Structure 1
Amino acid sequence: MEAKAVAMHVRISARKARLVANEVRGYGYQEAMDILRFTNKKASDMIIDLLNSAVANAIQADENVMPESLYISKIYVDDGPIMKRYRPRARGRASRIRKRLSHITLVLSDKAPVGSEG
Structure 2
Amino acid sequence: MGKPVTPRRLADNEAKAVARMLRISPQKLNLVAGLIRGKKVSSALADLTFSRKRIAKDVKKTLESAIANAENNHDLDVDDLVVAEAFVGKALVMKRWEPRARGRVGRIQKPFSNLTIVVRQVEETA
TM-score, L = length of structure 1: 0.88
CA displacement at 1:56 relative to structure 2: 1.3
Distance 2:125 2:94 in 1: 44
Report the counterpart of residue 99 of structure 1 in structure 2. 110
| Stretches of structure 2 lacking an aligned partner (at least 5 in a row) | 1-12
Deviation at 1:91, TM superposition (A): 1.9
- 4+ residue runs of structure 1 moved beyond 2 angstroms? none
Q: Distance in 2 between matches of 1:4 and 1:108?
A: 6
1:108 matches 2:119: yes
How many residue pairs are counted as aligned between the two chains? 114
Q: CA deviation at 1:68?
A: 1.8
Match in the other structure for 2:60: 48
Structure of larger gyration radius = 2
Give the C-alpha shift of residue 81 in structure 1: 1.3
1:38 and 2:50 equivalent?
A: yes
Q: Percent identity?
A: 37
Partner-residue secondary structure (3-state), 2:38: coil
Residue 27 of structure 1 is matched in structure 2 by: 39
Amino acid at match of 2:113: S
Q: Give me the CA root mean square deviation.
A: 1.7
Q: How far is 1:117 from its partner?
A: 6.2
Structure 1 residues not aligned, in runs of 5+: none
Q: Give TM-score, length-normalised by structure 2.
A: 0.83
Aligned residue among 26, 37, 54 for 1:14: 26
Query: Shift of residue 61 of structure 1?
Result: 1.3
